[in-house]
A and B are shown apart, each in its own frame.
Chain A
Amino acid sequence: MEQAEIKVSPAKRSERRNRLARREALNGYAFFSPWLFGFLVFTAGPVLYSLYLSFTSYDTLSSPKWIGIMNYKVLLTQDATFWKSLYNTLYYVVFSVPLGLIIGVLLAMLMNQKVPGIRFFRTVFYLPSVVSGVAVALLWMWLLDPSFGLINTTLAKFGIQGPGWLTDVDWSKPSLILMSLWGVGGSMIIYLAGLQGIPRDLYEASRVDGAGAVRQFWRITLPLLTPTIFYNLIMGLLGGFQVFLQSFVMTNGGPVDSTLFYALYLYNKAFKSSQMGYASAMAWILLVLTLICTLIVLRTSKKWVYYEGAENK
């Protein structure tokens, strides 16, 4: 032993290093274990359990009964309401996400101008995304009131007969999409950060080369903003598929199921009809759908997302 201390062989040295590394790793795991514990118990556990439940019949009171893929089979082949709710959700996603992107970018560009009082406007546009969802929903119920709402009374001043909004089967989904655009301030702030990250010298150089504002937008601003757009697109998709609160608070899925979104139908099955297994199967179908959409976006992102200095790999 003494010998070893004096003349440390390379093998021993590496062993000590290993021991040190192992201790460090152990310390790392120790620090990280509370999170891991929380993740396993409160996230991964329930998620996997819901996968199990999706193959069972479970009324929350009796113990789950294994029924194989029956929930999935019935959902996909025999449940008309399932398809209706999926249609409603896709409709919402298809319109609210791209509109949110376009308006978010345009708004961010406006807010990126150097004019006096711009901070005030930035705050004003960001404010709606700070307000709690239920409060926003209640506010919009007032705004969208067919007869006395601010929107229709304003339209009436211009001689336009406003629609019934939330009470009209054809207008209920557009109403909720319109409302979602009001909360675009959250993504606007992210775009704004993206815009300010674009090097000034690019604009200067292009101006020297004779590029106008429009050309600058298409050739510089937009390409360099694509990583931010990409991020907001993914987040928007995830949020869009899970749209729930608006219809839960404002319309309860009506009129005539026109705002019965996927998550609301899932909620009704789980908590109103106590069909927890069925609802779990719905949750997994939604997960797969969201996954597919996200993967498509990720795959195509190579073609349209530009990372500065990353050789666009």
Chain B
Amino acid sequence: MNFRIFKYLIPGMAVILMTGACSGNGANGVNGNAASGSSGPNSQAPAGKEVKISFWHIYNTGPMKELYDKLIDEFEEAHPNIKVDHAGYGIFDLGDKLATALAGGTGPDLAMDGIDGGQLKIKAGTIVNLQPYIERDGVDTNQYFPLLIDIMKQEGNGDLYRLPLETDVRVLFYNKEAFREVGLDPEKPPTTWEELESYSDKLTKWNDKTKLLDRIGFAPNLGNFWYWTLAWTNGVDFFDDQGNPTLDTPENIEAAEWWVKMQNKYGTKAFSAFQSQSGSLGFDPFVGGKVAMEVSTNNLVSEIKANQPDLEYGIAPIPIKKNNATWSAGFSLEIVNNKDQAKADAAWELLKFLTSTEIQKRHHIAGNALVGNRLAATDPEFMKDPDWKTVTDQMQFTRFLETPIEAQGWGGQMWKNVQAAVAGSMTPEQAIKTSQKETEDLIANYKKTS
């Protein structure tokens, strides 16, 4: 223990002295900027005064936890006046925990949170405007994926309130061995809906004896393909510029019809048997070789590496009808407005550190994640892998599912209706018409009760 203290003490002292020397210079420049903003950030907290901040994230296990423990140590070493109390809560628990903590005013100083739903927090003043910090420190926002930056801005004035940490993107995974087996060129994945269907029909294998499925070519309900992603590839926009729902377009109905047709090639009985059987594998059916083509997020690569490193697979853009499109979700970092300038300033230092190119590269290496920092994600070293290049290329087409405050849950309702069409309790057209109606009602009811 004593040795540990000494190990940090000397470099720590050096850093204190250095930052102390620098802050004198930096402060002047910053004050000029801060004066123009209404509540701009202070210059860095005085080096001697210790600031303790808390940071909540999702990394509670495995290599990402190890990395984050290490990163926080490094950060504290570089910022001896900042102490970080950080905790990983896991991907499913963080959201609920954060929502209740923010409502109760007991949130952390720096929080990782889902990419959606930021506007509510901006409107309520729950999170801190990052724009003054970004301008003060000259952070180049071009280093992040532009699409991510766009959804992190305040509607209207364009101030950034969050910065992207990591995202994902959906692509088509296909099994090259299966392609060869049925005489398809393993270097030519399907690019259109029509090709996807004809390839799928070739790749599907029925068991003559049990009348069940030995292998599925492609089924939209498998993997991580959500209905809206398909609709986007047919040029569908679910909302117009005024935020009115425009779900009931011929393109959207066409997409729903196609989804239902593709899914119903297998029948409920055989498909549910297939799902139960492949579910017992403990990993994705594509990884187990039970599905020849599947839309999933880039993170499936890690699952393949972990479970079936020998699987011969390719990655391609999602086949389309009209235009390229795919769906992303992810996480951002935000400073919680705990009305403590020193803590907000310290949280910003950590935020800046974690989203910087160098750190984000290490983030990618540890978790195989598609990080929000474009320069890190598309580092030439990583881009040598053609699959990774395909993944990052999708970032120019990708979209986020719009979740207007007034229409929260509309996407889930549309998904439910399309599944009702798959089950045969309504036609695809009815499913889309119902979704339009339900979304309109959702908005009308929200407006009346807000």
Q: Which residues of A contact B (CB under 8 A)?
A: 57, 59-62, 65, 67, 70-71, 73-74, 78-81, 145-149, 164, 167, 169, 254-257, 268, 271-275, 277-278
Contact = CB atoms under 8 A, between A and B. Distances in A.
Contacts of B124: 59, 61-62
Interface in B427-447: 438, 441, 444-446
Contacts of A79: 441, 445
6 pairs of A and B residues whose beta carbons are closest in the complex? A61-B124, A60-B103, A147-B273, A273-B408, A62-B124, A256-B420
Contact of A255 (B102, B269, B419): B419
A164 B123 CA distance: 46
B423 A169 contact: yes
B445 A74 contact: yes
A59 B450 CA distance: 9
B64 to A, nearest CB: 26
A67 B450 contact: yes
Given A79-B445, A147-B276, A275-B446, 6 more contacts: A61-B126, A65-B450, A67-B450, A148-B276, A256-B420, A273-B409
Contacts of A65: 450
Contacts of A274: 99, 120, 408
A81 to B, nearest CB: 8
A172 B417 CA distance: 17
A61 B119 CA distance: 11
A61 B122 CA distance: 10
A74 B445 CA distance: 6
Interface string B104-123: 00000000000000001101
A3 to B, nearest CB: 64
A254 B419 contact: yes
B272 A167 contact: yes
B417 to A, nearest CB: 8
A119 B20 CA distance: 76
Given A78-B444, A147-B277, A256 B419 contact: yes
B416 interface: yes
Contacts of B280: 148
A164 B272 CA distance: 8
A278 B99 CA distance: 17
Given A60-B102, A271-B96, A147 B449 contact: no
Contact of A146 (B99, B273, B405, B441): B273
Nearest to A149: B276
Interface in B112-145: 120-121, 123-124, 126
A60 B96 CA distance: 13
Contact of B449 (A148, A254, A275): A275
A164 B409 CA distance: 27
Interface string B266-295: 001100110011001000000000000000
Nearest to A269: B409
Contacts of A61: 102-103, 120-121, 123-124, 126
A168 to B, nearest CB: 8
A74 B448 contact: yes
Contacts of B33: none
A169 B272 contact: no
Given A59-B120, A61-B120, A277-B449, A78 B99 contact: no
A161 to B, nearest CB: 9
A70 B444 CA distance: 12
Interface of B: 96, 99, 102-103, 120-121, 123-124, 126, 268-269, 272-273, 276-277, 280, 405, 408-409, 416-417, 419-420, 423, 425, 438, 441, 444-446, 448-450
Contacts of B419: 254-256
A67 B449 contact: yes
A42 to B, nearest CB: 14
B429 to A, nearest CB: 16
B24 to A, nearest CB: 39
Contacts of B99: 60, 271, 274
Contacts of B273: 146-148
30 contacts: A60-B99, A60-B102, A61-B103, A61-B121, A62-B124, A67-B450, A74-B445, A74-B448, A78-B444, A78-B448, A80-B438, A146-B269, A146-B273, A146-B276, A147-B272, A147-B277, A148-B277, A149-B276, A164-B272, A167-B272, A169-B425, A254-B419, A256-B416, A256-B417, A256-B420, A256-B425, A272-B408, A275-B408, A275-B446, A277-B449
B137 to A, nearest CB: 28
B123 A62 contact: yes
Interface centre among A80, A256, A268 (most CB of B within 10 A): A256
Nearest to B104: A60
B432 to A, nearest CB: 15
A257 B416 contact: yes
A27 B444 CA distance: 56
B206 to A, nearest CB: 16
A109 B277 CA distance: 41
B449 A70 contact: yes
Nearest to B424: A169
Nearest to B444: A78
B120 A78 contact: no
Given A74-B449, A256-B425, A272 B409 contact: yes
Contacts of A256: 416-417, 419-420, 423, 425
A148 to B, nearest CB: 5
A71 B408 CA distance: 17
Contacts of B449: 57, 67, 70-71, 74, 275, 277-278
B298 to A, nearest CB: 25
A256 B269 CA distance: 18
A268 B446 CA distance: 14
A147 B211 CA distance: 13
A277 B103 CA distance: 14
A74 B121 CA distance: 25
Contacts of B277: 147-148
Contacts of A255: 419-420, 423
Contacts of B268: 164, 167
Nearest to B407: A273
Contacts of B444: 78
B222 to A, nearest CB: 15
A81 B272 CA distance: 27
B211 to A, nearest CB: 12
A256 B415 CA distance: 9
Contact of A78 (B123, B269, B276, B445): B445
Contacts of B123: 61-62
A167 B425 CA distance: 13
A80 B438 CA distance: 9
A210 B450 CA distance: 71
Contacts of A78: 441, 444-445, 448
Contacts of A271: 96, 99
